Amino acid sequence: MDVFAFFEWLDASWLASISKAYGGTFAVVQVFHLLAMLTLGGMVITGDLRLLGVLLKDVPSEVVIDNTQKWINVALVALIASGIFMASAVAIKLYYNSFFWAKMTSLVFGIFFVYAIRRPLLRYDHGSINPWTLRLVAVASMTIWFVVAASGRWIGFS
């Protein structure tokens, strides 16, 4: 698959014509991207620190995971939608940016981790899961999302 062709297509798409022509629209979408990232961060931290037994110890971890997962879904949809719009403005530049690829790789891994590992595993009664497995899932989750956020921030510095 020719990845560069996709970036060329994105660069010439109607989305790109909007994001390049209207700096104000781009900035507003960027703000929503940041707010979605902060919401995702808050939900991930709350859920994972509960799994580690640091936060909300008097609330069942199943309740915490269930409540945070809903908002993780919402935040991820907002992040991806706003991210595609932002990427369209500088598609070719991003193709050559190492931090962009670091973010995309960790983001894909993060989504896979949430929906293929974390969520299916945590649907079971947490009491029946080895506590070290829960801790491992929590640390892995926070590490992955930290890398996504940090590499995303460093796109702007590179």
Partner 1 sequence: MLNEVLLRFAEWLDTHAWSTALHESYYMYSWVESTHVLTLALFFGMLVVIDLRMLGRAFTSVPASVIARRLDTPMLIGFAVMVVSGLLLVYAVPVRTTNSIWFRMKMVFFVAAGINALLFRNRMKAAVDTWDNDPIPPRRIRTGAGVSLALWSCVVASGRLMAYDWYDCHQNLPYFMYWVAGCVDEMAAFE
Footprint (CB under 8 A) of partner 1, residues 104-143: none
- Residue 26-45 contact track with partner 1, rule CB under 8 A, x = bound: -x--xx--xx-xxx-xxxxx
What would the DSSP string read from start to end of 99-139? HHHHHHHHHHHHHHIIIIIIHHHHTS-GGGS-HHHHHHHHH
> 29 is written with which tokens?
């979408």
Say how far apart CA 32 and CA 78 lie, in whole Å: 8
Quote the DSSP letter at residue 2.
Answer: -
23 scored as a contact of partner 1 (CB under 8 A): yes
67 scored as a contact of partner 1 (CB under 8 A): yes
Q: Which residue ranges make up the site for partner 1 (CB under 8 A)?
A: 23, 27, 30-31, 34-35, 37-39, 41-46, 49, 55-59, 63-64, 67-68, 70-71, 146, 149-150, 153-154, 157
